[in-house]
Amino acid sequence: MIKQIHDHAAARPNQIAVSDGDEGLTYSNLIRQVENVANRLQQIGLCRGQRLLYTNTSMPNYLVTLLACMQVGVTLVPAPPKAPKAWLNRLVTEFGINAVIEGSTNLQDGNLVLLHGNILNVQDDIVAIFTTSGTTGMPKGVPVHMAAIRAAASNTIQVFELDHTSIFINYAPPFTVGGLLFIGLPMLLSGSSNFLLPFSPYSFAKDISHYKPTHTFLLPTMISMLKVSSNWPMLDLSCLKFVGSGASPVSESMADELLARGAECFLHMYGSTECLSPVMRHLSKLSSGKRIVFSEMCGDYQMKLAEDGELLLQGTPITRGYLGDPVLNEQYFEAGWFKTGDLFAYDGPALRFVGRKKQILKIGGFSVYPVLTENTIIDFPGVRNCCVVTGVTRNGLEELVAVIEGANVEQRAILNHCREQLPPHQVPRRAIFVENIPLNAMRKIDRAAVTNMVSSDDPK
Q: How confident is the model at residue 136 (pLDDT cuts 50, 70, 90)?
A: very low
Lowest mean pLDDT, pick from 71-80, 217-226, 257-266: 217-226
Residue 75 resides in a domain: yes
CA distance 191 to 188: 5
Residue 132 resides in a domain: no
b/e map of 383-392 (b: 16 or more CB within 10 Å)?
A: bbbbbbbbbe
CATH for 57 = 3.40.50.980
Tell me what the pLDDT averaged over the chain comes to: 85
Residues 176, 67 share a domain? no
Return the pLDDT at 443: 73
Distances (CA, A) of 168 to 36, 61, 164, 199, 208: 26, 17, 11, 14, 10
pLDDT beyond 70 at 112: no
Residues 351, 369 share a domain? no
Lowest mean pLDDT, pick from 23-37, 215-229, 307-321, 362-376: 362-376
Tally of domains in the chain: 3
Return the pLDDT at 137: 47
pLDDT beyond 70 at 96: yes
Full domain range(s) for residue 85 = 22-124
pLDDT beyond 50 at 117: no
| Of the residues 337, 356, 375, the one at which a domain ends | 356
Q: How confident is the model at residue 59 (pLDDT cuts 50, 70, 90)?
A: confident
Q: Residues 334-348: pLDDT tens digits?
A: 889 999 988 898 988
pLDDT beyond 90 at 286: no
Q: Residues 352-371: pLDDT tens digits?
A: 888 777 777 878 767 788 88
Lowest mean pLDDT, pick from 26-30, 112-116, 235-239, 436-440: 112-116
Mean pLDDT, residues 296-321 taken together: 92
pLDDT beyond 90 at 158: yes
CA distance 23 to 143: 31
Mean pLDDT, residues 39-60 taken together: 87
Residues 373, 348 share a domain? no
Q: How confident is the model at residue 407 (pLDDT cuts 50, 70, 90)?
A: confident
Residues 119, 70 share a domain? yes
Residues 195, 295 share a domain? yes
Half-sphere exposure of 440 (CA within 13 A, CB side): 19
The rounded percent of the chain whose pLDDT value lies above 70 is 90
Return the pLDDT at 224: 78
Return the pLDDT at 452: 86
| Of the residues 329, 356, 383, the one at which a domain ends | 356
Q: How confident is the model at residue 101 (pLDDT cuts 50, 70, 90)?
A: confident
Residues 106, 165 share a domain? no
CA distance 387 to 405: 9
CATH for 163 = 3.40.50.12780
pLDDT beyond 60 at 272: yes
Residues 204, 261 share a domain? yes
pLDDT beyond 60 at 419: yes
pLDDT beyond 60 at 107: no
Q: Residues 214-229: pLDDT tens digits?
A: 999 998 878 878 877 8
Residues 344, 369 share a domain? no
Residues 154, 116 share a domain? no
Mean pLDDT, residues 3-22 taken together: 93
| Of the residues 315, 339, 356, the one at which a domain ends | 356
pLDDT beyond 60 at 119: no
Residues 192, 290 share a domain? yes
Q: How confident is the model at residue 135 (pLDDT cuts 50, 70, 90)?
A: very low
Residues 338, 399 share a domain? no
pLDDT beyond 60 at 296: yes
Return the pLDDT at 318: 92
CATH for 408 = 3.30.300.30
b/e map of 307-321 (b: 16 or more CB within 10 Å)?
A: eeebbbbebbbbbeb
Q: How far is CA 457 from the centre of its chain?
A: 30
Residue 159 resides in a domain: yes
C-beta neighbour count of 349 within 10 angstroms? 7
Residue 435 resides in a domain: yes
Residue 4 resides in a domain: no
Residue 168 resides in a domain: yes
Residue 317 resides in a domain: yes
Residue 2 resides in a domain: no
Return the pLDDT at 36: 92
Residues 177, 247 share a domain? yes
pLDDT beyond 70 at 212: yes
